[in-house]
Amino acid sequence: MQVMITDQQDAVKPDYAKLKKISAAIMTYLELPSNSELSILLCDDDFIQKLNNEHRHIDEATDVLSFPMSEPGISKKIHVLGDVVISTETAIRQANNLKHHHMLEIIFLLIHGIVHLAGYDHETDEERDQMKDLEMDVFKHLSDIKLLDDFSLFKILPLIKRIDET
């Protein structure tokens, strides 16, 4: 699994190696091909608002956008999964509102984005429930394999509540 991160924001200073490790663990849990390639873009609200307007015709900032790649990769050796774009400014606001750490919110948005790239959506109530359950399973898996050890259970509980309420 290959994960590339582009950082075009100044709101947070993420641990890139940890984000890559978490991304690979998510992709492995979702049983995506081992030759998958994922691109993550961390940006600000202005940038994601432009993307949201251009691609979804919604002229406002959002927390995360996913852009799956429908074309085969450069070679048969690479499975280009797509791009996950995360606004760190929105992630920080959401984390503050929900009283959990902003990196947990970014991880949640990363899970959400990768689950979309894996082919899941939330257009219907049934799809939304299925996606929510899968996101919770992924989050628990990350905790089980100790990738969320930087956060105490006290800090994780509000995020579990957030997943359960979406």
CATH of the domain at 119: 3.40.390.30
How many domains in the chain?
1
Q: 47: domain range?
A: 2-165
Measure the CA–CA gap between 125 and 129, rounded to whole angstroms: 6
- Specify the pLDDT at position 80: 82
Measure the CA–CA gap between 65 and 120, rounded to whole angstroms: 13
User: pLDDT tens-digit profile of 52-86?
Assistant: 999 999 999 999 999 998 655 555 677 888 999 99
Mean pLDDT of the chain: 87
Task: Write out the H or E segment, with its range, that includes residue 49.
Answer: helix 45-56
Asked if 78 and 67 touch (Cβ cutoff 8 Å), the reply is no
Bridge partners, 38 (sequence order): 3, 82
User: pLDDT tens-digit profile of 80-130?
Assistant: 889 999 999 999 999 999 888 889 999 999 999 999 999 998 889 999 999
Q: Nearest Cα to 63, choosing from 80, 73, 76, 51?
A: 51
Residue 158 predicted with pLDDT over 80: no
